[in-house]
Chains A and B, each alone.
Chain A
Amino acid sequence: MTHSTVQDPDTPSMQLDNASPAEMDLDGDLENGLIRPLDSEELVLALEEARILVIGAGGLGCEILKNLALTGFKNLDVIDMDTIDVSNLNRQFLFRRKDIGKPKAIVAAEFVMQRVPGVQVTPYFGKIQDKDDDYYRQFQTVICGLDSIEARRWINAKLVDMVDDEDPTSLKPLIDGGTEGFKGQARVILPTINSCYECSLDMFNKPTTFPICTIANTPRLPEHCIEWASVLEWPRVWGKEVKYDTDNPEHITWLYQQAQTRAEKFNITGVTYSLTQGVVKNIIPAIASTNAVIAVFKIATSTAPYLNNYMMYTGNDGIYTYTFEHQKKPECPVCGNLTSSVTLDPNMRLDEMIDWLKDKPDAQMKKPSLRIEGLSLYMQAPPALEIATRPNLSKTLSELLEEGDIITVTDASLPVSLQMKVNWK
């Protein structure tokens, strides 16, 4: 890229060359609030050469693809592993009733190419994890319209991992964010440079999980009855191997009826089919207008990275937008350089420590395995190793560790391992 010297909201961020004084005037000066004339020729060329990856072809994905295509980008890729459902049609406007059941990525790509001449949209119907480093290296920017924390952690870690200090083009800005009802947020992640997705994990509320004793013994809310049906009663009746399918109305109906019966037993009101669906699928309300706003925030942040770096939006009471800089965490397990330090009670048992790890909002682990150099403390898998390390669970930490030891924690939900240096309380 030899032209496009200054960032402009309508061009993707390219290399930051220095502009000559003669060029500066018409190039605009974004840091001081001036844009370049919007009918400039250079804009068009820059857009045509860029390759952008859009992850997710749902509510946000549809809006992002439309906007990128109209803006003038010619090479777009889109990944989505889902097929189209009737409940998508109120906002995912690239799909019609006749498309129900078809892969989102493919239908979205076809629609955009037909509507906007000249743009090439290459779909992939599958998981982001199916693709390798070579695939991701092709793109200038990655824009996400995802609905899962795990997927976001994965792509975040992948892009951080790909950064090669010797090669500036290996740095791919990752634009993330989501919406819920009238609210949303968008943020730009410059891998290894600013706050990454993992750095901000503790900002997100853990999805509501009710304590098992409430579900089993003292339900109070209709939600507790529904969780009882899905978490306890379903496996009891159908066996642990058979999982319920949240897209199967028969399954939802069964859960609803079970929840209803239980609620009646406890004089609890409020169990409905809609609530059952909402709890079991963790449904988040969504409308086109909020997606429209956040999609543009995403595109704006991808083209003006001086915009630091997290934009929040609420629309339920008036309109309110707020931008702030989320700080990078030096001890972030994905992008940080420091090992995090942890102060522990030497008399704490290993199983208690594992429970504590599971509750940490900044790590969100499910089944962590722990080892120190030369010794596996507790490994969740494979079964032989689990059995072998199980006796350690009832030992105190002082029996297993010394101050200064570095514990390596691994977990399926952690894209990398976590290093923790031990200090005694």
Chain B
Amino acid sequence: MSVSAPLIDLKTQKYDRQLRLWAVTGQTALEHANICLLNATSTGCEILKNLILPGVGSVTVVDANLVQEEDMKTNFFLEPASLGQPKAKAVVELLQELNEDASVTFTIKEPRDVIHEDKAFFDPFTMIIATNLHERENMELADLCEKTNKTLVIVKSKGLVGIFRIQGPEHPVIETHPENPVDLRLGNPFAQLKQYSNSFDLDELDQTDHAHVPFIVVILQAVEKWKKENNGKEPQSYSERNEIKAIIRKGMRTSDEENYEEAIANIWRLAPSSSSIPSDVRQVFEDPACNNITAQSEHFWIVARAVRDFFENEGHGRLPLPGKLPDMKSDTTNYVALQNVYRDKAKKDLAAVIGHVNALLKANDIPENSISQDMIESFCKNSAHIKVVRYRSLEDERVKNPETDKIVTWLENEDNMSYYMVYRAADLFHEKHKRWPGSRGGDNLEDVKLLRIEVAKVLGSLQITKEKSDILLQQQAMENAITNYVRFANRETANLSALIGGLAAQEVIKLITRQYIPINNTCVFNGISSTSAIFEL
């Protein structure tokens, strides 16, 4: 064979399977991330493994402990030679060799000390992952992260149930990667689409051509026919759409015409509901950040406002056209021509949005070209699926404004909320008794009793009445959670660490790449029942 292979660099080859998920833009963001892991726990190391393998930029592990026998039983990033060594150093050695592209370093310090006495240590990091720290440190860290706009992931992982919580700055996502992003505008075809559709004389076509007319044209022509028979009225209802279906069926020449079957299968796209804008988008448009554009506005909001301006003007109540056409039964020429009709409209809409962006920049004395064309184009392509995730701070959750009513409802209906309570109670237990529940091993009915007292305290701190609290404590789910937690014997397990490692790393990747939709804000994974729950606390 006399072809020479194109020079695809080694990195692109290595990362091929993930580039198909988040493309070069996502990969670049990943490679610029700088993450700090507090405590070299098994779970923490598993999270890092799933970030280092895809090429995260830099990671620093902070831990002052020395490796003990116990650690080696559950942490894959410790080996027999690690025994007695500083844990941070030992795990970093085995994590670094997973991928030479990532920079993995260690600091032999107690996370608690760094948090209280050396906050400047955290300056270079964009994200902090805190595993199995005490609540006191978590709260301090949360406060620091809020003030410095860093993202914080708090992880608690013992035994068979793990929890992680995200706190971070406002997180807009343009590339949410929706499942079915097709937008064909059949309900209100734009001028060029109408024109293209009307250029077909279906009756005059020979059999082959007739069977290769794109279904979009078939539908639009049937709609026109129906409108003529109904005084120019727009079809609104389900029964009216059925009448259009009948028109299409009549137009079918043979039972083999796939394009006509596609038309029938796609009639639902005429429904008015499929033209209204999604609630997430409406929320973005109505957000104060979208209303009040200033020189300090984030690019996302400036473009959002530009799209809203387009929507209210040239768009006539429609978002910019994404311009993508799914495959359909058609000959090549017609398909490509139709595709170009959609692409041209998308280009026109994009140009109008860019006009609005420039107007906003000018009105606020922001330099022209501050916002890249690529970003505006991406926004236009994805405008129907954008999402803004806002995280409540830990302070709001625990101190200022806890979601007591929601929590009570969850405790009554969702087993896994009990574990959230139990983990909080475990911290109070540690404060009082200077040891963790179950750390003495075995069944330890004494610890179960003591832990239950702390759970009652947590419920009380949420302003839940004693009466209600007593009922909640007696529920089977709560009883089990307290008993099971003690039986975890205060140790991590390999399997749960691996699983939480997977879930938390996935969320971290979503946050860094700004693609796909991260959870908001707490995930509980129960490895006993193999169930998960997401709570917005």
A residues in contact (CB < 8 Å) with B: 9-10, 25-26, 28, 30, 32-39, 63, 66-67, 70-72, 86-87, 89-91, 93, 96, 114-117, 181-182, 217-221, 249-254, 256-257, 266-268, 273-274, 277-278, 283-293, 295-297, 299-301, 304, 307, 311, 315-321, 323
Closest to B55 in A: A90
| Binary A-proximity of B1-44 (CB < 8 A = 1, otherwise 0) | 10111101010011111111100000000000000000000000
- Which of these binds chain A: B187-195, B400-408, B466-474, B503-511? B503-511
| Binary A-proximity of B161-184 (CB < 8 A = 1, otherwise 0) | 000000000000000110000000
CB of B336 closer than 8 Å to a CB of A: yes
Complex CA distance for A25 and B503, rounded to whole angstroms: 33
Known contacts A63-B498, A182-B21, A285-B17; decide if A319 and B503 are in contact (CB<8 Å): yes
Known contacts A219-B332, A292-B499; decide if A91 and B53 are in contact (CB<8 Å): yes
Apart from A33-B484, A218-B331, A292-B501, what are 15 other A-B pairs with CB-CB below 8 Å?
A26-B443, A30-B528, A33-B476, A38-B488, A71-B493, A182-B516, A267-B336, A285-B17, A288-B50, A288-B54, A288-B502, A292-B498, A296-B502, A311-B530, A319-B503
Complex CA distance for A315 and B502, rounded to whole angstroms: 10
Complex CA distance for A185 and B205, rounded to whole angstroms: 48
Complex CA distance for A172 and B531, rounded to whole angstroms: 25
Known contacts A33-B528, A36-B487, A115-B79; decide if A96 and B97 are in contact (CB<8 Å): yes
Chain A residues near B505 (CB-CB < 8 A): 288-289, 292
Chain B residues near A283 (CB-CB < 8 A): 16-17, 20
Contact indicator B518/A323 (Cβ below 8 Å)? no
| Binary A-proximity of B416-443 (CB < 8 A = 1, otherwise 0) | 0000000000000000000000000111
Contact indicator A268/B3 (Cβ below 8 Å)? no
Number of B residues contacting the other chain (C-beta, 8 Å)?
83
CB of B76 closer than 8 Å to a CB of A: yes
B residues in contact (CB < 8 Å) with A: 1, 3-6, 8, 10, 13-21, 46, 49-50, 53-55, 73-76, 79-80, 97-99, 159-160, 176-177, 212, 327-328, 330-332, 335-336, 415, 441-444, 476-477, 480, 483-484, 487-489, 491, 493-496, 498-499, 501-503, 505-507, 509, 516-520, 523, 527-532, 534
Complex CA distance for A299 and B160, rounded to whole angstroms: 13
Contact indicator A34/B480 (Cβ below 8 Å)? yes
Partner among B1, B79, B212, B498 whose Cβ is within 8 Å of the Cβ of A250: B1
Contact indicator A268/B530 (Cβ below 8 Å)? no
Contact indicator B502/A253 (Cβ below 8 Å)? no
Contact indicator A287/B21 (Cβ below 8 Å)? yes
Closest to B79 in A: A115
Chain B residues near A221 (CB-CB < 8 A): 327
Chain A residues near B13 (CB-CB < 8 A): 86-87
Chain A residues near B520 (CB-CB < 8 A): 318
Partner among A63, A86, A267, A296 whose Cβ is within 8 Å of the Cβ of B14: A86
A-B contact pairs, 18 of them (CB 8 A): A26-B443, A34-B484, A72-B73, A87-B17, A93-B53, A93-B98, A117-B80, A218-B335, A220-B332, A251-B1, A266-B336, A290-B502, A292-B499, A292-B502, A296-B499, A311-B530, A316-B516, A321-B531
Complex CA distance for A382 and B50, rounded to whole angstroms: 51
Closest to A252 in B: B5
Q: What 7 pairs across the A-B complex have the smallest Cβ distances?
A: A292-B502, A70-B494, A249-B5, A293-B502, A285-B20, A296-B499, A220-B335
Complex CA distance for A320 and B13, rounded to whole angstroms: 31
Contact indicator A220/B336 (Cβ below 8 Å)? yes
